[in-house]
C-alpha cells in the first residue's frame, strides 16, 4: 500500500512512541525559565565550555549561545564550529545526531547535551540493521545519507550531506555516472532527484515537522498576505516546494529572506528559525506556514518536540554537575568509520559553474 504523506507517523509505531514521549515531556514541563537566564549565562561564561545551538531550539538558548561566544547555526556549521573551537567542553543544544557528530569530529573534547532523549523522527525512522541490509542488497550504489541519522547509519555511508549541499554533492557524483541510495528523508530525496535527475533509491522516512506543511490553508493565507514570499525547507512535501519562492536549508532560507524584496514571508520550517531570521530582516513580517488545515490536529505544530526538550534548566544542570547521563559517547571504531563520510562532507567544495 502506498503511504500518503499524512500517514507516516501514524503508520510507524516505533516513531510514534518516541514522538509521544516527547510530547508528554512538553506537556509536563514547568513554566517559563526566563528567571534562569542570567545565572546560566554567568556559569557558562566562567566555564571552559562553548554552547552550540541549532536554529530550531528555544530563542533564549539561541541568545545564550550568541552572548557567550558560542554559535547558532545549521547542522553543517555546528559541526564545523565544534571541530575548530578550543574549548575543552561542548554543549550541543539540538538533537542526538548533532551531539554524536560533534563528538566524532571532536574526539578529545567532552560533549554534553541537556538531554540525550532529544532525538529526530528521521533518525528513528532509519534503523541501523534495516538500513545496512538495504544497502547490502544494492552493492552497486553509492550510499549517501542525510546528517539527520545516527552514527551507525553514517558509518555505513559513503557520504554524509546536509540540505545545504545535498543537491551539489549528488549532482557532482551523478556526472561521474554513479547511482545512489539516499536516506532517510523521502521528500528531500525526491527534491534532490528532481533537481539532479540522478538515479536514486530513496528510503521511506519523514520529518514530523516538515511533513505537516500542506496546501490546505495556504491559499487563504496568501490571499491575506498577497505580497508575502513563500520560503520552504526541502524536507517538506512536493506540493509546498512547487509553490515556493525559495527552497533551501535553514541558512539558505534566512539568506533568502534578506535577498528577496518581499515585505513579508510565509515560512515553512520549524518556527524556531524566526529568531535568527528576524535579526536579518527586522523590518519584515514573518508568518508561520499552515499545517494540516482548519480543524486538523497537528502533531508538531511547526515546532520539533525534541528540539523543545532543550531548556535552560537542562543547561544549568550540566554546568553544575556535568552528569554522565548527559554526556555524548560514541564507540571508537564506529566513530572512525563515520568520520570518513563526515570528512567528505566538510571538505566538499561546491563546483564553480561560472
Exposure string over 125-154, b if 16+ CB within 10 A, otherwise e: bbbeeebeebbeeeeebbbbbbbbbbbbbb
Q: What is the pLDDT at residue 82?
A: 85
- Number of other CB atoms surrounding residue 316 within 10 Å: 18
Q: What is the pLDDT at residue 2?
A: 36
299 within some domain: no
Q: What is the pTM of this model?
A: 0.89
Same domain, 99 and 202: no
297 within some domain: no
Q: What is the pLDDT at residue 315?
A: 97
Alpha carbons 306 and 214: distance in angstroms, whole number: 21
Q: What is the pLDDT at residue 170?
A: 97
Q: What is the pLDDT at residue 333?
A: 97
Q: Is 229 in a helix, a strand, or coil?
A: strand
215 within some domain: yes
Same domain, 36 and 105: yes
Same domain, 16 and 108: yes
Work out how many domains the chain is built from and give that number.
3
Same domain, 202 and 341: yes
Same domain, 324 and 341: no
List the domain range (segments joined by +) for residue 183.
Answer: 122-207+334-347
295 within some domain: no
Same domain, 110 and 9: yes
352 within some domain: no
21 within some domain: yes
User: At 145, which helix (H) or strand (E)?
Assistant: strand 142-146
Burial class (CB in 10 A: 0-12, 13-18, 19+), 177: exposed
294 within some domain: no
CATH of the domain at 17: 3.40.50.10800
Same domain, 244 and 267: yes
Same domain, 146 and 238: no
> What pLDDT digit, counting tens, does each position of 142-183 carry?
999 999 999 999 999 999 999 999 999 999 999 999 999 999
Distances (CA, A) of 166 to 57, 173, 267: 23, 11, 21
Distances (CA, A) of 43 to 36, 70, 287: 11, 14, 35
238 within some domain: yes
Which residue from 140, 93, 131 is spatially nearest to 304, judged by alpha carbons?
93
Same domain, 18 and 112: yes
> What pLDDT digit, counting tens, does each position of 48-99 carry?
999 999 999 999 999 999 999 999 999 888 988 988 999 999 999 999 999 9
Same domain, 16 and 109: yes
Residue 135 exposure: Cα atoms within 13 Å on the Cβ side: 22
Weakly modelled stretches of the chain, pLDDT under 50: 1-6, 10, 16, 30, 353-354
Q: What is the pLDDT at residue 75?
A: 85
Same domain, 13 and 95: yes
Same domain, 71 and 131: no
Amino acid at each position: 500500500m502506498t503511504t500518503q504523506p499524512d500517514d507516516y507517523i501514524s503508520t510507524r509505531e516505533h516513531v510514534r512512541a518516541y514522538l509521544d514521549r516527547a510530547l508528554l515531556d512538553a506537556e509536563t514541563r514547568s513554566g517559563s525559565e526566563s528567571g534562569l537566564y542570567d545565572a546560566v549565562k554567568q556559569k557558562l561564561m566562567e566555564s571552559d565550555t562553548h554552547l552550540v545551538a541549532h536554529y530550531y531550539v528555544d530563542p533564549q538558548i539561541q541568545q545564550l549561545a550568541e552572548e557567550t561566544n558560542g554559535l547558532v547555526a545549521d547542522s553543517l556549521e555546528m559541526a564545523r564550529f565544534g571541530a575548530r573551537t578550543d574549548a575543552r567542553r561542548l554543549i550541543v543544544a539540538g538533537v542526538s545526531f548533532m551531539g554524536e557528530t560533534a563528538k566524532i569530529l571532536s574526539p578529545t573534547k567532552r560533549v554534553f547535551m541537556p538531554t540525550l532523549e532529544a532525538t529526530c523522527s528521521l533518525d528513528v525512522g532509519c534503523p541501523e540493521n534495516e538500513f545496512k541490509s538495504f544497502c547490502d542488497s544494492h552493492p552497486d550504489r553509492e550510499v549517501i545519507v542525510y546528517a539527520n541519522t545516527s552514527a551507525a547509519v553514517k558509518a555505513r555511508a559513503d557520504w554524509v550531506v546536509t540540505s545545504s549541499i545535498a543537491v551539489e554533492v549528488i549532482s557532482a557524483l551523478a556526472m561521474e555516472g554513479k547511482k545512489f541510495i539516499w536516506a532517510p528523508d523521502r521528500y528531500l530525496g525526491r527534491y534532490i532527484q528532481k533537481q539532479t535527475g540522478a538515479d536514486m533509491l530513496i528510503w521511506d522516512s519523514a520529518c514530523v515537522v516538515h511533513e505537516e506543511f500542506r496546501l490546505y490553508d495556504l491559499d487563504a493565507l496568501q490571499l491575506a498576505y498577497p505580497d508575502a514570499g513563500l520560503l520552504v525547507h526541502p524536507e517538506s512535501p512536493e506540493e509546498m516546494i512547487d509553490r515556493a519562492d525559495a527552497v533551501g536549508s535553514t541558512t539558505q532560507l534566512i539568506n533568502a529572506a534578506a535577498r528577496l524584496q518581499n515585505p513579508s514571508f510565509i515560512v515553512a520550517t520549524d518556527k524556531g528559525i524566526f529568531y535568527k531570521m528576524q535579526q536579518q530582516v527586522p523590518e519584515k513580517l514573518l508568518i508561520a506556514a499552515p499545517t494540516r488545515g482548519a480543524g486538523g490536529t497537528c502533531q508538531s505544530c511547526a515546532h520539533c518536540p525534541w528540539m523543545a526538550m532543550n531548556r535552560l534548566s537542562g543547561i544549568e544542570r550540566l554546568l553544575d554537575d556535568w552528569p554522565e547521563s548527559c554526556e555524548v559517547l560514541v564507540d571508537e571504531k564506529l566513530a572512525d568509520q563515520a568520520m570518513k563520510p563526515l570528512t567528505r562532507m566538510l571538505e566538499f567544495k561546491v563546483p564553480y559553474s561560472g
